[in-house]
């Protein structure tokens, strides 16, 4: 496995795990957003630009969800 494939595997694995755990903490939504951003980078580097675009959109959606939840309950985001 080359470095780019390993990068993509780690990014997608973190996406899946953080998505599964996002009900436990608002910070998992943030991790999901970052992982989606990394997945987007992987998609563009690998040449799969539709995946790169889709992952970038998911990153934006997740980041927006994170910010909205963080503002809604600032004392309960731990």
For the chain, domain boundaries: 3-71
1-11 residues labelled b (16+ CB within 10 A) or e (exposed):
eeeeeebbeeb
Torsion of CA 2, 16, 62, 44, to 10 degrees: 20
Is residue 13 pLDDT above 60, yes or no? yes
Which pLDDT does position 75 carry in this prediction? 62
77 has pLDDT over 90: no
Task: Please state the rounded mean pLDDT for residues 11-16.
Answer: 97
pLDDT at 76 over 60: no
Whole-model pTM above 0.95? no
- Of how many residues is the chain composed? 78
- pLDDT score of 30: 97
Q: Per-residue pLDDT tens for 32-75?
A: 999 999 999 999 999 999 999 999 999 999 999 999 999 987 66
């Amino acid at each position: 496995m080359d470095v780019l494939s390993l990068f993509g595997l780690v990014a997608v694995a973190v996406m899946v795990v953080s998505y599964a755990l996002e009900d436990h903490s608002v910070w998992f939504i943030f991790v999901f957003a970052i992982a989606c951003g990394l997945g987007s980078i992987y998609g563009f580097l690998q040449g799969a630009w539709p995946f790169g675009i889709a992952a970038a959109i998911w990153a934006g959606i997740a980041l927006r969800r994170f910010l909205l939840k963080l503002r809604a309950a600032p004392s309960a985001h731990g």
